Copies of this chain bind each other. A is one copy, B any other.
Amino acid sequence: MNEFELIARLTCALPTNESVVVGAGDDCAVLDVGLGDRWLLFKTDAVVQGIHFTADVPPEKIGRKALARCMSDIAAMAGTPTAAVVTIALPQNFVPELVEQIYVGLNALATQHGVAVVGGETTTNPAGLLISVALIGFVPRGKALLRSGAQVGDAIFVTGELGGSLVGRHLEFEPRLAEARWLVAHFAIHSLMDVSDGLAGDLRHLLSASRVGALLHKSAVPISRAAKAAARKGDAAKPAFVAALTDGEDFELLFTVASRDAVPLLDAWKEKFPGLKLSCIGKIIAGEGIQLRDQTGIRPLTAHGYVHFS
């Protein structure tokens, strides 16, 4: 049993009840709790020392990141976050100031977005610091944006620039909350998710949820300065384009919209968010998986095939 088989088996077996609109599998769960005009969003996520941050990262940034990751998932449903609870598992030799500093970063981001922090547990974890955050939020009823709505012919967009996040941006990224809400308010967005595990992998999740394929234009994929700089230095494990496709922790928005809306959307975006790049990187096609078009033609992007494009 591999990881994906395991997740599929687990997800099928999860208990449900009449409040569940969308259960596990999308960016957040969506619940109808009896609010006439809104649905509730519910999400948890964790950061672990040695995996999501190194021991030398200032604790303020770790706390901020733990909450920002969950906020990015609320953004990925076009929702608004409301309240968070936090579990901090601490190494046994921790100093109390460490916990305070974690909360300084977490609280600052919460305050910036009007989120209340309404509970916190601390426990010990011999291996090092682990922070788990659960976040609830709301979205107008019927307006939660799922991964499963992409349609053949849709234009595929991504915000920002991709790759190289681990150089620093993963500790400082802004969850795209305002951007997602603006998109939904002004355009008939068909599908939306955040890019957290790398564009290639996350786009595949969107495609399989929507039962469609995608044609990506290699030259349109926005590559971050960090990914380009790393590739130029020659110390990168992968070329810049591969980094943009496969590095994790971008926390940008990936969405699709009918092709007729693509140009008006780009124009309106530039006016509304002049500081944040928006790229049309390809289109939704029938079939499955990702096709990549570059100057030599069109080839399938296989699951582990990124290195072909070096």
Are A136 and B48 in touch, CB under 8 angstroms? no
Interface residues of A (CB under 8 A from B): 1-3, 5-6, 9-11, 13-17, 19-20, 23-24, 28-29, 31, 33-35, 38, 40, 42-46, 48, 50-52, 82-83, 85-87, 89, 96-97, 99-100, 103, 107, 110-111, 114-121, 123-128, 130, 132, 134, 136, 138
Min CB distance A137 to B, Å, is 10
Docked pose: A110 CA to B19 CA in angstroms: 14
Are A6 and B96 in touch, CB under 8 angstroms? yes
Are A123 and B24 in touch, CB under 8 angstroms? no
This chain's copy number in the assembly: 2
Sampled A-B contacts (5; CB under 8 Å): A10-B120, A17-B83, A23-B119, A24-B119, A42-B83
Are B17 and A121 in touch, CB under 8 angstroms? no
Are B44 and A14 in touch, CB under 8 angstroms? no
Are B127 and A83 in touch, CB under 8 angstroms? no
From B19, B96, B114, contact of A82 by CB (8 A): B19
Are A44 and B119 in touch, CB under 8 angstroms? yes
From B10, B11, B20, B46, contact of A89 by CB (8 A): B46
Are B85 and A118 in touch, CB under 8 angstroms? no
Given contacts A35-B34, A125-B48, A138-B33, contact A119 B43 (CB under 8 A): yes
Determine the residue in chain B with the shortest Cβ distance to A36.
B34
Q: Which residues of B contact A83 (CB under 8 A)?
A: 17, 19-20, 29, 31, 42
Are B125 and A44 in touch, CB under 8 angstroms? no
Q: Which residues of B contact A15 (CB under 8 A)?
A: 107, 110-111, 115-117
10 new A-B pairs (CB below 8 Å) besides A23-B117, A48-B123?
A: A6-B99, A16-B118, A24-B120, A31-B82, A33-B33, A33-B82, A46-B121, A50-B126, A127-B127, A132-B132
Q: Which residues of B contact A2 (CB under 8 A)?
A: 96
Determine the residue in chain B with the shortest Cβ distance to A112.
B15
Q: Which residues of B contact A111 (CB under 8 A)?
A: 15
From B31, B100, B115, contact of A118 by CB (8 A): B31
Are A14 and B123 in touch, CB under 8 angstroms? no
Min CB distance A82 to B, Å, is 6
Determine the residue in chain B with the shortest Cβ distance to A115.
B15
Q: Which residues of B contact A107 (CB under 8 A)?
A: 13-15
Docked pose: A3 CA to B3 CA in angstroms: 39
Are A82 and B17 in touch, CB under 8 angstroms? yes
Q: Which residues of B contact A120 (CB under 8 A)?
A: 10-11, 14, 24
Q: Which residues of B contact A46 (CB under 8 A)?
A: 87, 89, 121, 123, 132
